[in-house]
């Protein structure tokens, strides 16, 4: 049983006990109901207190039950709440630490609520593409007022209990406990007091009986709808939150409850909700590595060193400073250190200007930062991350020196984006201590961290890096060693397709617009102009030598030969006005493309936006299927996380693998066979990867 029952004199205490956050799974629901029955049946019991053991009152639905029929098996949450509300004896919720989702809805079904200070209170369902489905949209406005409740429901963000307790006229909390430690005693005392009141003839208060009104309802809900439309255009749930709360003001309680339920069930079936629930689970799954036990002891990381104060080194250092860890940056020359330091300071100052950082915090962070030109000064660091030039010779010298100087057990990480991590590890006598930590630019902003696991990387090291990633608020995904790791290996196929599309008749603008309408933050050509088209050029030049059979469109090379590297040279696929970032379609580039087509004897054809999107996205999917099959990624959901957090893939589509699952793998494979017949395209590439072909044939999915 995951809810305990105990009697304290004349008060029964029901304690939810389903670690880690007392999720309201089937067993817990049964436990609460049984406890309630016992308390009702015991004449010595005059009142009931419901609370949570450990680190939460309740975090809401049990994620272990997510999407399974068990989540709705009777007693379902609605009936548990109804049972509490209809209890003949007063029920007091003693709330602390975390009270979210179904947990808050449960508390709202109790007659009285007592909260400890410092408790996080939320209805976060909207973040999973849903609305609260157990009365939250009907009861919360009755205790907090329509506006405060709708803000919480639409944002899903937690609010501190003491803030809520301070809202004028609020009825969410009857009392705020003096401290978490005294919560239980105060709850028992409150229970006895209200039991005495009941004995004196007073009726048990129920939230459902409170009025729910807004003085300017029409105007307010119109305003709320407009706000929500602007903020969440690709997600249906936020607008439905407004509908449900409005219903609370216009319908009878039970009617409103049914209305809420209907919305909830309909949302559950939407692709957006499925995508968001997938992402929720994928994020948690990413930190689990199949052959590394969850209780694997980790190494201690108290001091960090970064080698190289360039674009990446500075951003990487900021992550650790933000998490309160001291960082020492090593460079070759004092000028490089000064430049790097100035950039870090400038980045922090920009945050202060925007009001995102307090000036004193800026100083605290910079106080944790020090610099050096000597390896002797970083010898005691627990983790060193190398971010020097992308040349094997340079990396070799750095890793040989690190091997000679660093203390035993120190983690030696490289931020390389293209080089072989096993080769880098081989420059040391401790390859088990070497790992890739592939940050994305700007490293202090981008959420993604690819953790590149070498052939010999130790398990405890991996466990350490995954833990550390959480501390610096990154989404870490493990990748095996291969060219480009997960993300860049896939993006290369996507870029190739973008090139073929130009040759066949599309313009850069058409391609970008189509994929941006699909939801990517930026199309491939605008992206190229931002990152620098010379980077891809360098990679292709290498490919022409190493893989002469690989087919590319020449347009990108011709562009670079014109010196159009992108925003940094003032011109790329697009024209740019001095000091501005707006991409202006370029006549010169379009002329170059059309001359190239002529030279190749290609008659341009009209390409639909649908074909553009499919070729770009399915190229990612096919390469990803190879990556999965080779074991470079251990699960499809990891690939989705890489694309959602590092490459601007639209969140509401759940990542490339989830999207392919939604389209249906059979349809995806069919489309690939069609693309293979395009004369300009790479027919060999479009052979569906064996894993994809198999899943498509069996009617299965990646996720």
Helix, strand counts (H, E) of the chain: 28, 19
CA distance linking residue 600 with residue 604, whole number of Å: 11
Q: What angle do CA 516, 675, 667 make, to 5 degrees?
A: 80
Least distance from C-beta 403 to ligand NAI, angstroms? 14
CB 263, CB 243: distance < 8 Å: yes
Place of tokens 């509300």: 85
Minimum distance of ligand NAI from residue 335's CB (angstroms): 9
Residue 15 or 415 with smaller CB distance to ligand NAI: 415
Q: Considering 105, 450, 504, 623, which one is annotated as catalytic?
A: 105
Which is closer to ligand NAI, CB of 443 or CB of 625?
443
With H, G, I as helix, E, B as strand and everything else as coil, classify residue 107: helix
Whichever of 236 and 308 has its CB closer to ligand NAI, that residue is 308
What is the DSSP annotation of 446-496? Answer: --EEEEE--TT--HHHHHHHHHHHHHTT-EEEEE-SSTTHHHHHHHHHHHH
Residue 407, CA atoms < 13 Å, CB-side half-sphere = 13
Residues 414-473, interacting with ligand NAI (CB under 6 A)? 415-417, 439-441
Rounded Cα gap, residues 169 and 302, in angstroms: 47
User: Given the rule CB under 6 A, which of 163-171, 270-278, 410-418, 463-471 is the region that contacts ligand NAI?
Assistant: 410-418
- Residue (102 or 308) nearer to ligand NAI, CB: 308
Of 76 and 396, the one with the shorter C-beta distance to ligand NAI is 396
Task: Out of 81, 398, 502, 689, name the contact with ligand NAI by CB under 6 A.
Answer: 398
- Measured from the CB of residue 322, what is the shortest distance to ligand NAI in angstroms? 18
Give least dist CB 416 to ligand NAI, A. 4
Residue placing its CB nearer to ligand NAI in the complex, 390 or 534 = 390
- 476 phi and psi, to 5 degrees? -95, 135
Using Cβ positions, the residue closest to ligand NAI within the complex turns out to be 310
Q: Please choose, from the candidates 543, 526, 640, the residue with its C-alpha nearest in 3D space to the C-alpha of residue 583.
A: 526
Residue 372 in 3-state DSSP? Answer: strand
- Quick one: CA dihedral 249, 251, 254, 260, positive or negative? negative
Query: d(Cα 84, Cα 50) in Å, to the nearest integer?
Result: 10
Q: Which is nearer to ligand NAI, 439 or 574 (CB)?
A: 439
Inter-axis angle of helices 609-629 and 665-675, nearest 10: 110
Pick between residue 108 and residue 398 the one whose CB is nearest to ligand NAI. Answer: 398
- Residue 545's contacts (CB-CB under 8 Å, 6 or more residues apart) are none
* Range 263-322, binding ligand NAI (CB under 6 A): 307-313
Tell the smallest beta-carbon distance from residue 545 to ligand NAI (Å).
Answer: 19
* CB count in 10 Å sphere of residue 305: 27
Separation between Cα atoms, residue 119 and residue 158, nearest integer Å: 9
Q: Interacting stretch for ligand NAI, rule CB under 6 A, among 19-27, 270-278, 381-389, 500-508?
A: 381-389
Measured from the CB of residue 612, what is the shortest distance to ligand NAI in angstroms?
26
| Range in contact with ligand NAI (rule: CB under 6 A) among 317-325, 412-420, 424-432, 605-613 | 412-420
CB of 484 to ligand NAI, least distance (A): 11
72 vs 389 by CB, closer to ligand NAI: 389
Question: Of the listed pieces 47-55, 286-294, 385-393, 470-478, which binds ligand NAI according to CB under 6 A?
Answer: 385-393
Backbone angles phi, psi at 153, to 5 degrees: -70, -40
Burial 464-501 (b: 16+ CB within 10 A, else e): bbbebbeebebbbbbbbbbebbbbbbbbbbbbbbbbbb
Does 642 help bind ligand NAI (rule: CB under 6 A)? no
> Whose Cβ is closer to ligand NAI: residue 13's or residue 437's?
437
State the nearest-atom distance from the C-beta of 438 to ligand NAI, in Å. 6
Q: Restricting to residues 322-351, which ones interact with ligand NAI according to CB under 6 A?
A: 330-332, 336
CB atoms within 10 A of CB 333: 10
Phi-psi region of 156 (alpha: psi -120 to 50; beta: other; left: phi over 0): left
Three-state SS at 29: helix
CB of 646 to ligand NAI, least distance (A): 10
In the list 357, 394, 539, 550, the residue contacting ligand NAI (rule: CB under 6 A) is 394
Active-site residue flag, 125: yes
Residues 557-586 that bind ligand NAI (CB under 6 A): none
Residues near ligand NAI (CB under 6 A), total: 23
Selected from 157, 389, 409, 673, the binder of ligand NAI by CB under 6 A is 389
Rounded to whole angstroms, the Cα distance separating 342 from 335 reads 11
Q: Minimal distance in Å, beta carbon 17 to ligand NAI?
A: 45
Active-site choice (125, 246, 492, 611)? 125
* Active site annotation includes 503: no
What is the distance between the alpha carbons of residues 181 and 422, in angstroms, rounded to a whole number? Answer: 52
Select from 193-201, 387-395, 559-567, 676-684 the region that touches ligand NAI (CB under 6 A). Answer: 387-395
The residues of the shown chain that bind ligand NAI, judged by CB under 6 A, are 307-313, 330-332, 336, 387-390, 394, 398, 415-417, 439-441
Active site (catalytic) residues: 105, 125
């Amino acid at each position: 049983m995951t809810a305990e029952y105990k009697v304290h004199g004349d008060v029964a205490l029901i304690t939810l006990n389903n670690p880690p956050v007392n999720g309201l799974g089937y067993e817990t629901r049964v436990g609460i109901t049984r406890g309630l029955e016992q308390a009702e049946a015991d004449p010595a019991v005059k009142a009931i207190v419901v609370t949570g053991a450990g680190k939460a009152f309740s975090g809401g639905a049990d994620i272990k039950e997510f999407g399974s029929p068990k989540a709705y098996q009777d007693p379902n949450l609605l009936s548990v709440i109804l049972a509490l509300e209809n209890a003949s004896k007063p029920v007091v919720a003693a709330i602390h630490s975390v009270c979210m989702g179904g947990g808050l809805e449960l508390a709202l079904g109790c007659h009285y609520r007592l909260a400890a200070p410092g408790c996080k209170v939320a209805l976060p369902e909207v973040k999973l593409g849903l609305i609260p489905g157990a009365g939250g949209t009907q009861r919360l406005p009755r205790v907090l007022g329509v506006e405060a409740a709708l803000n919480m429901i639409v944002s899903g963000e937690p609010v501190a209990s003491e803030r809520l307790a301070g809202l004028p006229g609020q009825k969410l909390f009857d009392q705020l406990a003096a401290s978490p430690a005294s919560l239980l005693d105060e709850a028992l005392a409150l229970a006895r007091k209200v039991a005495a009141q009941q004995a004196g003839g007073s009726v048990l208060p129920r939230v459902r009986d409170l009025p729910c009104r807004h003085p300017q309802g029409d105007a307010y809900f119109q305003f709320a709808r407009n706000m929500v439309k602007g903020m969440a255009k690709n997600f249906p749930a936020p607008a439905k939150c407004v509908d449900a709360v409005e219903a609370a003001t216009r319908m009878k309680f039970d009617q409103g409850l049914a209305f809420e339920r209907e919305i909830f069930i309909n949302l559950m079936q939407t692709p957006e909700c499925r995508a968001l629930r997938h992402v929720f689970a994928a994020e948690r799954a990413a930190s689990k590595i199949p052959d590394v036990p969850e209780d694997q002891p980790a190494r201690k990381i108290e001091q960090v060193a970064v080698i190289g104060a360039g674009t990446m080194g500075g951003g990487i250092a900021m992550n650790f400073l933000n998490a309160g860890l001291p960082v020492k940056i090593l460079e070759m020359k004092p000028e490089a250190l000064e430049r790097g330091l100035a950039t870090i300071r400038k980045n922090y100052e920009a945050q202060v200007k925007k009001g995102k950082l307090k000036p004193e915090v800026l100083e605290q962070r910079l106080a944790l930062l020090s610099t050096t030109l000597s390896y002797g000064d970083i010898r005691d660091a627990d983790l060193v991350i190398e971010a020097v030039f992308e040349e094997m010779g340079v990396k070799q010298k750095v890793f040989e020196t690190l091997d000679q100087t660093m203390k035993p057990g120190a983690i030696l990480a490289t931020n390389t984006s293209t080089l072989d991590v096993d080769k880098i590890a081989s420059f040391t006598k401790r390859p088990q201590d070497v790992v890739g930590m592939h940050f994305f630019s700007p490293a202090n902003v981008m959420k993604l961290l690819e953790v590149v696991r070498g052939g010999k990387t130790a398990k405890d090291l991996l466990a350490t890096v995954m833990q550390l990633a959480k501390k610096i608020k990154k989404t870490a995904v493990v990748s095996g060693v291969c060219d480009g790791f997960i993300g860049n290996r896939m993006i290369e196929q996507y870029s190739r397709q973008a090139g073929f599309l130009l040759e066949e008749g599309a313009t850069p603008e058409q391609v970008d617009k189509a994929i941006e309408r699909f939801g990517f933050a930026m199309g491939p050509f605008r992206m190229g102009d931002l990152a620098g088209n010379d980077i891809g050029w360098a990679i292709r030049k290498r490919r022409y030598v190493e893989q002469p059979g690989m087919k590319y469109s020449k347009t990108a090379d011709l562009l670079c030969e014109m010196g159009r590297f992108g925003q940094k040279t003032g011109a790329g696929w697009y024209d740019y006005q001095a000091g501005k970032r707006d991409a202006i379609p370029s006549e010169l580039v379009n002329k170059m493309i059309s001359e190239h087509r002529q030279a190749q004897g290609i008659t341009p054809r009209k390409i639909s936006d649908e074909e553009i999107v499919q070729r770009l996205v399915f190229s990612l999917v096919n390469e990803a299927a190879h990556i999965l099959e080779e074991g470079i990624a251990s699960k499809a959901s990891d690939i989705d996380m890489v694309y959602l957090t590092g490459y601007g893939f639209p969140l509401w589509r759940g990542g490339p693998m989830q999207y392919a699952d939604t389209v249906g793998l059979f349809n995806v494979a069919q489309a690939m066979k069609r693309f293979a017949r395009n004369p300009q395209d790479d027919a060999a590439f479009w052979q569906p990867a064996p894993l994809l072909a198999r899943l498509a044939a069996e009617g299965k999915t990646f996720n």
